[in-house]
Amino acid sequence: MKPQFGGEVFSDLFSTPISTASPPAIFCRRSDHPVPRLSIPEKDMPLQTNKFYSNMYLSNQDRPVFTYPYSVWYSKGNILFSNCTREPFGLSMSHVDQNQRELGPTGSVGSGSTGAIEYYLNPIWIRSLNLGAIEFDSANTSRTMELTSLGPMSVDVNFYVNKTLDATKKMRTPLCLGMGFISAEYSGLTPQIESSVFFRSVSLIPSTNLNVVKYKVTLEDGKFWVIYAHADPNVVQLPFNLTVINNGKLKAAGPFSGIVQIAKIGTAENVDVEAVLDATTGGVCTGAAVAAQTNGGSVASYQINYTRYKGTGPLLMFALPHHYNSFTDSTKAARCNDYQLTSLSKGMMIAVAADGWCMTEDSLPTKIGWMPVKSGPAPVFAAASLTQLAAVARAEIAQDFDAQSNLDELYFAGKAVGKFAYLCLTSHFVLSDRSLTSTCLTKLQKAYSLFTTAKNKNKLVYEYGWRGLVTDAVYKTGNPAADFGAGYYNDHHFHYSYFIHAAAVIAFFDAPTQGFGTGKWLTANKDWVNTLVRDVANPSAYDPYFPVSRSFDYWHGHSWAKGLFESFDGKDEESSSEDANFAYAMKMWGYASAQPLVEARGNLMLAILRRAINTYMLISPPTSPNPTNPNPWGIHPTKFNPNRVSGILFENKVHHTTYFGVEPKHIQGIHMLPLSPISPYIRSPAFAQDEWTAFFSGKTGSITDGWKGVLYQNVALWAPGDSWKFFAQSGFSSDWLDGGASRAWALAFAGMLGGA
């Protein structure tokens, strides 16, 4: 095992799969999954479960898909119960401005005395425009929609007149995150563009490019949009010409083969925006991939490379704040600052004319390892403090590891295993007690073996429907919510992070160089642990058993926790800290198992997460912003910012609450746990102290459960001495410890930051 963390030079972090082998046989196989793969013809491959377009293959299939800045949805041509009219068939689209948002009430339990609003959300299903075709008439009972090319940042939505009779007659609408145009490629169909907002005016705009037809439309809400048509030069056809049928419908002159693109100008005429659109129309984003390089230190560059179909100029894409705050100079130069549209829940987006973006992260946590890192002089523990810590550690290591780990829910089981792993680290790195460490390690290995030998209660199985690891609780109970929905791919990065980190700890101690083992544990269990990593963070499409990056979204900069559940507001995440915990666990597993690419990707994910979390989920005080976000109160509505955290961050709304409780201890606390060496990297002292002052200072007396310990662990980030005093007090109650928290680790953590 190498002596230092990080430090390798890599020219490509994503070219090599972790493995292409079948998951170990200890994971029983299931050929079925309760969720059908609707409208997906390509079933013999790993399929994405947690990406932005899931609503198009789940349940009703007509919930919005949030491409940012737009939302689009599958308009199925059904009769609408609200007004008994028939909706069009095709792809509908909307863009919501800030003044259209619904702001929640103030005075919620979770917002306390801050005066903040509880939530904000964007209205859905405002059909500004719909891309369709005459041939998709309601009398056509053979029209269908199919999804192909299901990637981590893109998908193709295909609309057929009658695929059985003629698969060539279709409308293909590629969707990419951040796409500047909503595009449709028509093959021999007659375009029909409709609006439920209604057309106020439709104008044909003279174009200097004879191959491009441009229309500008004003809707009755006062918004301006443009429509471009690019005819296929290889097809003999009538010129593209739109006729106004009525104030809700435009129809082309005849069958058309080529590309139609739509974009919103804004709430007013803007010649500068139109100039950007005129210069970039024609290119269609059909895919995106991430690449990254490390320099051997704390700096990494990563790119989002888009696949451009057609067009001669660069693609027009929209960037979020965490993107453009980390752009390299060359990508900054491609920004079109005159063209900005508000996003749904992440601030203002800026258009970029480029086929790819390059971003830099210069603070990778390569120096952070098993223990928290204190700035300045090394921490010194007083003799009495060490004596007390040793007594607490011995008492906790004497607990029954097996009983606490073998629980019904894999999430709580993992938290218990993770707690014991930190006990072993405490006994070794702080107490320097080899005997106690050996005892702890032996018990941890035994408890961990419950899972690697499938002797725990709810076992992990590999299913061939979507292709991934799920808990068998969903098969035994038939309950989609079993184990927090893990059987439907909810929260895998949360759940597996605890097991991966604990495995890293065992592998570290079992290495021959540490003197506790011979390395046999790693040899026997490496594939089992790697399978958990592959399920969540497979880097390569060459792995035939798992989709690429199931949970972490390299475009949004963080993971999405929601799996195969239909949702009006899209994907969501309620725990930024457990998101970071997975990346940290992956980093440490890569280090302990001698997989430097895994470690390097963990470091990169952490750096991106640090920036994204401190931009969208943790709201720093405006007077002392986190260096990753120069405008912390410029993302969410001003009235929401006093909440200090997002609560649940959805694609379409932000709700200061949780799925399990509405009190501040729940909402703020779920963004704190678990306390780990990476916590100070993610949560700045200024932020943590400001949050404490707003919600908890002088208000913790009535908290008597495990959340009390979570809150005081967090105090160590800015006042480690106060945190130490809380956990060292003579009247300390074990009721104040969360099921995944160790009192000894809390003391060790505070001490390592100078509190002992």
Active site residues: 491, 574, 578
Question: How far apart are alpha carbons 746 and 756 in whole angstroms?
Answer: 11
CB-count burial class (<10 Å; 0-12, 13-18, 19+) for 97: middle
Helix then strand then coil, % of the chain, to nearest 5: 30, 25, 45
What values do phi and psi take at 300, rounded to 5? -140, 145
Question: How far apart are alpha carbons 50 and 289 in whole angstroms?
Answer: 17
- Kind of pairing between the strands at 28-30 and 460-463: parallel
Q: Which of 266, 357, 270 is nearest to 306 (CA)?
A: 357
Question: How far apart are alpha carbons 207 and 675 in whole angstroms?
Answer: 60
Taking phi over 0 as left and psi of -120 to 50 as alpha, with beta for the rest, 698 belongs to left
Q: What is the DSSP string of 113-180?
A: TS--BSEEE------SEEEEEGGG-TT-TT-EEEEE---SSEEEEEEES-TTT-TTSEEEEEEETTBS
Instruction: Please count the CA atoms within 13 angstroms of the CA of 736 that sit on its side-chain side.
Output: 20
Question: How far apart are alpha carbons 418 and 7 in whole angstroms?
Answer: 26
How many helices (H) does the chain have, and how many strands (E)?
A: 18, 32
List of residues 6+ apart from 425 with CB closer than 8 A: 370, 371, 505, 745, 748
- In sequence order, what are the beta bridge partners of 248? none
Locate tokens 């490379």: which residue?
A: 305
**Residues 678 and 602 sit within 8 Å (Cβ to Cβ):** no
DSSP helix/strand/coil, 607: helix
**Residues 242 and 256 sit within 8 Å (Cβ to Cβ):** no
DSSP helix/strand/coil, 480: coil
**Residues 300 and 294 sit within 8 Å (Cβ to Cβ):** yes
Q: Give the per-residue SS3 of 232-291.
A: CCCCCCCCCCEEEEECCEEEECCCEEEEEEEEEEECCCCHHHHHHHHHHCCCEEEEEEEE
Following CA atoms 172, 174, 180, 185 in sequence, which dihedral angle do they give, to the nearest 10 degrees?
-20
**Residues 651 and 569 sit within 8 Å (Cβ to Cβ):** yes
Q: Give the per-residue SS3 of 16-78.
A: CCCCCCCCCCCCEEECCCCCCCCCCCCCCCCCCCCCCCHHHCCCCCCCCEECCCCEEEEEECC
Q: Give the per-residue SS3 of 491-523.
A: CHHHHHHHHHHHHHHHHHHHCHHHCCCCCHHHH
**Residues 406 and 456 sit within 8 Å (Cβ to Cβ):** yes
In Å, what is the CA distance from 1 to each residue of 85, 175, 423, 437?
68, 44, 22, 19
DSSP helix/strand/coil, 648: strand
